Amino acid sequence: MAKDQSAGVPRNGQLDNDSTTFKSVEKERWTMDSQQKSILGDVSARTIKTTEAARKVRAFTKGISQKAHEAAAAGEPIAYCFIMSLHDEILRSMDITPIWTENYAAISSVKRQAERFISKAEADGYARDLCTYCTINIGFDALRQECGGIPPESPDGGMEKPTVMLGTGMMICDPRYKSYQIAQRYSDVPMYVHGLLWPPADAKVAEVQDYYVKYLTEELRGLVDFLEKHTNKKMDWDRLNDTIDLSNRTIQVWHDAYELRKAVPAPMPTEDAMNTMVPGHFWMGTQQAFDFYQDLYNELKQRVADKVGVIPEEKYRILWAAGLPPWFALAIFNYFESLGAVFPMETTYHPPVPVEIPSSAKHPLERLAWRFFRQWTYRHEAAQRRSGDPAVEQVLDMIEDYKIDGILAHRAATCRTVHVGQIHLMNVLKDYCNLPTLILESDICDVQAFDDAGTMAKIDSFVDLLEANKQTKRNA
């Protein structure tokens, strides 16, 4: 009988005490006083979550490491991997336990443990301007080798040594495979990279789709062959088909739940979404992930019906339009909220759009390939009709759907993948809408890149601009 791959996650996972400073401060939290300024002033402060669902997420993140510890103890295979790489269903269906290394880097950052790993990588020759998800992982692996086991006091018990490392050659994010080549300095284990490409925004999608899907399918087949060879696990194709079906239902309910966030007042903010993405991106293909989003859907539906918002008086609605968040300083959202601004939606970690997989696609790998291809070309046609850029189209859609007053991006200094192109995005948006924009600068994991006072000053000025813009509209 197949094992339950999400056994490490409690069905109704409760947030452990060390993961949040959430308290019963609903009445006090909106008061703009000096103490709240210090929430951002002290970047060790954690974000305050709004939804019950977001508070359950810590169990999922802890479950990733816990599951790996159990697998290691039992001698079961473990794979290093990155998100959004089509590994999810395949690994779940083969009883191979994933360690999502970038997730572990983010946890290390939240736990203020990142610096020792980044410093170790730097000491070994890897510059601080490389992706800090990767330098944290490299530094951790280096220390694990030096210690002959998990480095002491590692968050969540550390990352187990993997059986295999799985990179992906995507359109963007070269560190997904380059960093694992470096990790092999410290853990000499088999490695495989499969290609995941989609056509550029100006491609004639119908003319290229067949060879793209064929390529994606064959690359996945190579991945399965590699896993069978190096883990002693056999793929159960029927089980993979069932897992894909479950994932598709999960994507749908996740998408439907987020659609409810169009409501005014906003029922769920972006700081929650930076948590509620965890089951979707790290537990996809499990019943627990589906149940999580079903619960989230129900909770948001009730909040919308009761007109319960993130903050009592919602003055400004801001779109998180680009960039990974500074994981060590998610409290910036709470600072915005203290000024009457809420983030009803974000493009980052947004659920994949539910797409139709052609009925002609029978083999599960082909189904995965079609789903991937259609998700990544979903807005190509709209882009070709207007801005030329699917990312711009997504933002323009969200501005309208979520009644947005201003646009914000966060630029992480160490990641070119997601953070080069933000200026262009903002420039193009100005050709189609006239909203205030702001780009904050720091990093995903390196707290040293965070300028506390400068960030607050930028936010203050931006909110002033939002107010001025509203005044202008009111007077027009």
Closest contact distance (angstroms) between CB of 84 and another protein is 15
Q: Which amino acid is at 195?
A: G
CA distances from 179 to 176, 403, 412 (A): 6, 40, 18
Cβ distance to another protein smaller for residue 3 or 430: 430
- CB of 141 closer than 8 Å to CB of 165: no
Q: Does the footprint of another protein cover residue 9 (CB under 8 A)?
A: no
- CA 401 – CA 375 distance, rounded (Å): 20
Stretch that binds another protein, among 68-76, 101-109, 325-333, 421-429 (CB under 8 A): 421-429
Q: 352 to 391, contacts with another protein by CB under 8 A?
A: 388-389
What is the rounded distance in angstroms from the CA atom of residue 179 to the CA atom of residue 167? 9
What are residue 107's DSSP bridge partners?
none
Give the amino acid at 14: Q
Question: In angstroms, what is the minimal distance from the CB of 138 to another protein?
Answer: 9
Residue 456: is it exposed, middle or buried by C-beta count within 10 angstroms (0-12/13-18/19+)?
middle
Residue 157 DSSP symbol: G
d(CA 220, CA 167): 12
Q: How far is the C-alpha of 420 from the C-alpha of 417, rounded, in Å?
A: 6
Min dist CB 202 to another protein, Å, is 7
114-126 in b/e form (b: 16+ CB < 10 A) is: bbbbbebbeeeeb
Site membership for another protein, residue 125 (CB under 8 A): yes
Closest CB 288 distance from another protein, rounded Å: 33
Sheet of 437-442: strand order equals: 341-346, 316-322, 406-412, 437-442
C-alpha to C-alpha distances, 85 to 32, 44, 149, 164, 177, nearest whole angstrom: 43, 32, 28, 15, 11
**Quick check: 303 binds another protein (CB under 8 A)?**
no
- By beta-carbon proximity to another protein, the closer residue of 166 and 463 is 166
Which of 24-32, 67-75, 190-198, 314-322 is the region at the interface with another protein (rule: CB under 8 A)? 190-198
Sheet harboring 191-196: ordered strands across?
97-100, 78-81, 164-170, 191-196
Of 208-216, 234-242, 248-256, 296-304, which segment contacts another protein by CB under 8 A? Answer: 208-216
Binding-site member from 3, 11, 112, 185 for another protein (CB under 8 A) = 185
Name the residue nearer to another protein (CB basis): 187 or 275: 187
Q: Which stretch binds another protein (CB under 8 A): 96-104, 152-160, 187-195, 252-260?
A: 187-195
Residue 205 interacting with another protein (CB under 8 A): no
Nearest approach, Cβ of residue 129 and another protein (Å) = 6
- 265 lines the binding site for another protein (CB under 8 A): no
Among 173, 266, 322, 365, binds another protein (CB under 8 A): 173
Query: Rule CB under 8 A: is residue 123 a binding residue for another protein?
Result: no
Q: Where are the alpha helices (DSSP H) in 184-236?
A: 205-231
How many residues can be counted in the chain?
Answer: 476
Considering only 70, 115, 122, 124, the residue that binds another protein (CB under 8 A) is 124
Contact flag: residue 139 with another protein (CB under 8 A): no
Decide if residue 434 touches another protein (CB under 8 A): no
Residue with Cβ nearer another protein (185 or 473):
185
**Residue 158 found at the interface with another protein (CB under 8 A):** no
Which two tokens mark 238? Answer: 């029927």
Residue 197 interacts with another protein (CB under 8 A): yes or no: yes
* Options 3-11, 112-120, 305-313, 418-426: segment touching another protein (CB under 8 A): 418-426
- Our CB check for another protein shows the closer of 112 and 185 to be 185
Query: Is there binding between residue 214 and another protein (CB under 8 A)?
Result: yes
Half-sphere exposure of 93 (CA within 13 A, CB side): 25
Asked if 120 is part of the footprint of another protein (rule: CB under 8 A), the reply reads: no
CA 443 vs CA 139, 323, 325, 415, 450: distances in Å: 17, 10, 8, 8, 7
Of the candidates 266, 101, 73, 232, which has an alpha carbon nearest to the alpha carbon of residue 168?
Answer: 101
Q: State the residues that interact with another protein by CB under 8 A.
A: 124-127, 129-131, 167, 169-175, 177-179, 181-182, 184-185, 188, 190-195, 197, 199-203, 207-208, 211-212, 214-215, 218-219, 222, 388-389, 411, 413-414, 416-417, 419-424, 427-428
